[in-house]
Every structure is written in C-alpha cells, then in structure tokens.
Amino acid sequence: MSRVGAARRYDGARTESEKHMLITDIQTVVVDAARAALGTGRRTWLFVEVHTDEGVLGIGEASQSRLDAGVRAAVEEMKPYYVGKDPLGLIEPQRRQWLANPFASRVRYAAVSGIEQALWDIAGKALGQPVHVLLGGAIRERIPLYANLSQATPSRSPDDLATTAAQAVSDGFRAVKIYPFPQPQEVAANRGVALTRDEIVLAEARIRAVRDAIGPDVALHTDWAWTVTPGDAAALADRLLPYDLFWIEEPFATDDPEELAALRRHIRPRLAGGEQLSERLPFRQLFQARALDVVMPDVKWIGGISAFREIAALAAAYDVEVSPHNMSGPVATAACVHLSAVLGNFLALEYGYAGVPWRDELVAGSELVEHGTIPLPTAPGLGIEWDGAAARRHAGE
C-alpha cells in the first residue's frame, strides 16, 4: 500500500483514491508511579494509546502528576476529531486544530502532547523507521542521562542521598541531580520568603555529602525547586562554589527573566529552567533576556515532539543548550531519546533513577539503560514495546 504521493487532504481525512490506515479509538491509562515508601508526594504517569484499523498502536505520554482527570477529559473531548482520520499526515493539522488558540490550557497541551507522540509512533511503525530517522537522522548513537535521585533515595537526609548517589555512579551514571532545598510541598505556606539558616545549613550538608560520595568527576545538578528568593540566590551560589555544581535549576518562585539573567551573570554553574512552560512566548522572553544556559522543555506538555523541536531550534539561535525535563515513564523517555538524538544543542536527558520496580513491565523490557546512557533505538516508531495490559494491571483497571 502506498503511503506517499497520493493526494492527501490537509486535514488528514480519507480521500476516495487511496486506502488509508484509520484511527479507530484513543484510550488513556493512568498508573501510580510514586514509590509509596518514600512519601515524596503524588507521581502518576498518564499514557495515551491511539488505535488504528490496521492493528498498529501508537503510544504517547502526557504525565504531569496533577489534573489527570482533566487530561483524560480533554482527550475524550478531542477524540471525535481523530477517529476516522488517517494518522499519517495528521501531526501538524491536529496541533493547529487544538493549540492555535490563546485559550488552550495546560491540560489541552498535555492531551495533544500525548496524542502527538502516538502519531509519531504510528508513522514510524507504518513506514518501518525509527522516529529519529523521520526527524532527519541521528547525530549521536547514545543518549547520556543524568540520574534524578528523588524517587530512589529512602529519605532526603544527607547520608541517604549520598548512598543513593554513589549507587547511581556505580550503575554508570556520570551525572546526578538532587533537591537540596525544601520541596515546594514543604514550604507551600512560606513560598517566596527567605530560607531559614537551618534550611541553608541542611541544603549545604546534602550537597557536601553527595559531592563526597560521587567524587570530583561526576556532574552534580541541583534543582532549587522555586524555593529561593532572588535576594538570597547569588550569596547561596557563592557559598556552594566549593562543591562545583554543574547547574542550578529553577531557583525562584517566579521565572522572572530579568532576575534570572542577573543571577546567571553572577554564578559559575549553568542556570537551567523552563520545565513548566508550554507556550512559545515565555520561552522567547527567557532567551531574549539571556536568562538561561539550559532550557528544559517537557515533551509531555509542550505540544509533543514537533513543538519540542521548535523550542530547541529557538534555543539554539540564542546559544542555549537543551536538556529534556523527564521525570517520566518509559514512553516520554523514548520520545525524548529520539529528540535528543537529532538536536545539535542537546546536553543531557533526565532519567528517574530507581523508581517503581515495575517500570520495565510497561514496555516489555525494551527500555535499555546502559552505563548511564540509552543507546539509539533501531525498532520502528518510538522503538518501545508498549504493554497496555501490564499498564492496566498497575492502574488497577
């Protein structure tokens, strides 16, 4: 069956002259991915399955650990647009349909992101090519990861963080990330107020313990999780200079471009941010202000793979590096792997180290992590073997 060359209507609808694959259904599955023993708050993964009449199934991920009911409702609301259409050639039309609207919400961006990844997965499977080939071809064979330790450490004590960090290094990771300051849920009533002396001392103890555990040659990323005031950030960065931080992420409660740019000019580590953004304008404002060294778009709520690539290109024009925000399940991780393979300004991919032990069941062991890297997938589409039945077992459905 020819996939190319025949007249194709711009909206993906079937023409009389060509037999197309057709979308028959879209389903969502939500699993609880928080490690209960840790009590580190809510973490869910939300997957989007796009089914077709030829038995090809596309999978995407729209996890954001909040508003799952809203994302599922948005998928249901949008479903009639997709059912009966050819999934090939639909990626740009569906973005235009749902996101070219100033009232498009974060929830809708997430829903479109999940569906969009699934459309890439279907396109790759239908054409027999991995997504990175459809994106123009890989420029690296292995994707370096950094280990986010937040789901792996038994507690946030300096000793437990150090032990977990050392474990990640012994597993081959050459970069780790910790949250030295209070988590947002710990300071909700105190947000935007200066940290106490005890909180600062504890943060430094966490960083010192981890640096001692990983040695001088492993990169130490720190996520400040929006808990530091602009008035304190520069002095804190000075205090932490001996620990050779690789980056400081999201220091302030607001992403004020001028405050970030002022901090960036002062500090030695890279300044990273932008994980929560969906629309283009705030990215543009951050780049124009020279506010970031590293931007961290999230494929799960930026509008999908195409939208991610556009922001990465915009970042490249400002000499900003890209590190995908990815405390995600194996599906968004796969989408990020294909993006990371083709981006000239890619830096490192986030990976949720040692999270739920059943992670591999969702993709039948096809997520391959070797020595802190993911080798480039060669299977068609996203290159993972989605097991919807296993996912539904963990969803309790």
Footprint of Mg ion (CB under 5 A): 223
Element (H, E) at 198: helix 197-214
Instruction: Kindly state the smallest distance separating residue 210's Cβ from Mg ion, in Å.
Output: 17
The per-type count for the chain, helices as H runs and strands as E runs, is 12, 12
Closer to Mg ion by Cβ: residue 22 or 176: 176
Distances (CA, A) of 321 to 85, 95, 247, 273, 316: 37, 25, 12, 11, 7
Element (H, E) at 167: helix 158-170
Chain Cα centroid distance, residue 321: 15
Closer to Mg ion by Cβ: residue 52 or 323: 323
Instruction: Kindly state the smallest distance separating residue 141's Cβ from Mg ion, in Å.
Output: 28
Distances (CA, A) of 270 to 6, 184, 216: 49, 22, 17
Instruction: Kindly state the smallest distance separating residue 223's Cβ from Mg ion, in Å.
Output: 4
Closer to Mg ion by Cβ: residue 86 or 223: 223
Closer to Mg ion by Cβ: residue 68 or 223: 223
Instruction: Kindly state the smallest distance separating residue 264's Cβ from Mg ion, in Å.
Output: 17
Instruction: Kindly state the smallest distance separating residue 373's Cβ from Mg ion, in Å.
Output: 21
Instruction: Kindly state the smallest distance separating residue 45's Cβ from Mg ion, in Å.
Output: 17
Instruction: Kindly state the smallest distance separating residue 205's Cβ from Mg ion, in Å.
Output: 21
Closer to Mg ion by Cβ: residue 223 or 367: 223
DSSP secondary structure of 346-384: B--EEEETT--TTGGGGGTT----BTTEEEPP-SSBT--
Instruction: Kindly state the smallest distance separating residue 12's Cβ from Mg ion, in Å.
Output: 35
By the 10 Å C-beta count (0-12 exposed, 13-18 middle, 19+ buried), 73 is classed as middle
Angle at 175 between CA 169 and CA 178, to 5 degrees: 95
Closer to Mg ion by Cβ: residue 129 or 276: 276
Instruction: Kindly state the smallest distance separating residue 226's Cβ from Mg ion, in Å.
Output: 9
Given a contact cutoff of 8 angstroms between Cβ atoms, the answer to whether 52 and 21 are in contact is: yes
* Residue in this structure with the two tokens 């530091």, named with its chain if needed: 228
The type of residue at 362 is L
Closer to Mg ion by Cβ: residue 49 or 223: 223
Closer to Mg ion by Cβ: residue 223 or 321: 223
- For CA atoms 302, 304, 310, 312, the dihedral sign is positive
Given a contact cutoff of 8 angstroms between Cβ atoms, the answer to whether 155 and 11 are in contact is: no
Which token pair is 1?
A: 């069956």
Using CA atoms of 128, 324, 60, 338 in order, give the dihedral in degrees to the nearest 10.
0
The type of residue at 217 is D
Closer to Mg ion by Cβ: residue 26 or 248: 248
